Structure 1
């Protein structure tokens, strides 16, 4: 299996939002933290955030790198090129997305990256909810050089890349052939952006994802060992739902494998979180 990477375009100051989207609050962290952490929990290779020149970024998940866009004002494809170049020596493929995708689901990322492998294309372009989604797409990291050359020729639009490489497209129906994606994100809200203050406000008012929480061992007092469905956008919120605090005595296992204490770890629909004593969980 080829190593996969994640690239998040942090963007600069948004003219529509009036402030950088990357730092907008999202359930105790930021949009950038959530997007980067969703990628980090999904891909098996490096994750980098592409910042605009001189851009100050909010806190990032542990292990997520930063690369600076070398030229300001050339649009998102310059950021795509910088991100792909930063991971090209460590991964053959990358999922590339913008920072303002609060409903991005790991199953969508996996579907896109699997489609890139299955088709053998240079780029896997979702055509979801009626639009091409170049900033929620799979790229061969080797495309970094081609994109840089096109930018040097003044070709700044994503559509120009499509004319110079092998692009495979997946529409809603093809994407939703993946049973896990169809179950957890049936309307493909993974590609929904917060483009305006109204979009952001509406997204922020939506209920948190429904997940399952379990407690084991000494933490299972009062019947808490029974699986419970709760709504929580982060691991910390999931712990609070069963009156626990993530400290050195308690760890959490996400979906049976990832053991962590990161209270800001993003949760998504379909997740199961098991809390256990640290001496039992390692």
Structure 2
């Protein structure tokens, strides 16, 4: 099955103060760390229109804004856009603001997408994580219907899918992998944590 990697980088980043996709991280940027968690394969960026040139300047080839019909309607629109704009069978999705997610975790989720499973969603500390997940192309119609009805919550959409939920600990994924960096304070704490771990 052809896999398409999808980085969701379309948020407004108001609390962070700058586009989170381009935040500095380990000599690169947040979104580049997400690409490493995919391993190989074609990677698609879903971004805001005003940031597309910056991705292209950084030699990214597949960068799209949300389709006009659903522009600015959140991650559901981002995943739908990726499916609409590319030819794939499975779509591995990572939000750009989770820089600690690993290739091992994403590979384990990809292995679970079998048979009639529409989506593989990890659960960490009793919370589903639909923005670090794997989806089959056949969910595109469901996504369209939800967006057309302005039902934008991922949790509501998942109720219409055949979902394989995976406990993070069962695939060896640590809770830090699912932490979103939303504010500058979150970012500062993350940098301090990494610096501390290097000193230990």
C-alpha distance in structure 2 between counterparts of 1:12 and 1:21, whole Å = 8
- Whether contact under 8 Å (2:37, 2:106) holds in the other structure is no
- Whether contact under 8 Å (1:11, 1:21) holds in the other structure is no
Matching residue of 1:36: 35
Matching residue of 1:17: 16
1:170/1:56 CA distance change after superposition, 3 Å: same
Q: Which has the higher helix share?
A: 2
Matching residue of 1:225: none
Matching residue of 2:42: 46
Normalising by structure 1, we get a TM-score of: 0.62
Which of these two proteins has the greater Rg computed from alpha carbons? 1
Normalising by structure 2, we get a TM-score of: 0.85
- Whether contact under 8 Å (2:122, 2:166) holds in the other structure is yes
**Higher RCO (CA < 8 A, seq sep 6+):** 2
After superposition, what is the alpha-carbon deviation per residue over 1:114-147, rounded to whole angstroms, capped at 9, x for unaligned?
0112x64101111113311010011002322320
Matching residue of 1:139: 135
After superposition, what is the alpha-carbon deviation per residue over 1:74-130, rounded to whole angstroms, capped at 9, x for unaligned?
11101111112223x2x211111110111110001101110112x641011111133
C-alpha distance in structure 2 between counterparts of 1:56 and 1:204, whole Å = 27
Q: CA RMSD in A?
A: 2.3
- Deviation for aligned residue 1:13: 2.3
Structure 2 residue matching 1:55: 3-state secondary structure: helix
Structure 1 residue matching 2:156: 3-state secondary structure: helix
5+ residue gaps, structure 2:
none
C-alpha distance in structure 1 between counterparts of 2:64 and 2:187, whole Å = 26
